[in-house]
Amino acid sequence: MTPLSRMIPGQKGTVIGFTVDSRISRRLLEMGVVPGRSVVYLRNAPLRDPLEVQVGSCCLSLRRAEASLITVRIEE
C-alpha cells in the first residue's frame, strides 16, 4: 500500500482508505473517492502540483497534500 501522491502517471490502483480522519478525507468521500474504487493517475501539473486522477468515471484535480492522505494498492 502506498499514498496516491507516490504513484506515477499512467499507474492504476484501488483505493484502500485514508491515513487520517479529517475534514479533507470526508470531502474526498463525498467526491467519490471511496475504498474499493479504481483510481488512475493521469498527469501532473507543470510544477507537479496539483495532480489529475480518474476515480471511476470522474476526473479530479487534487493537491499533493490531499493525495498523500489517500492509501492505494497499486495494480501490477
Could you tell me the domains of the chain?
2-74 (2.30.30.90)
The percentage of the chain sitting over the pLDDT mark of 90, rounded to a whole number, equals 70
- What would the pLDDT profile of 10-29 be if each residue is shown by its tens digit? 999 999 999 887 888 889 88
pTM given for the model: 0.88
- Mean pLDDT for the stretch of residues 54-60: 92
E strand or H helix that includes residue 47: none
Measured CA to CA, the distance from residue 46 to residue 20 in angstroms comes to: 28
8 Å CB contact between 64 and 29: no
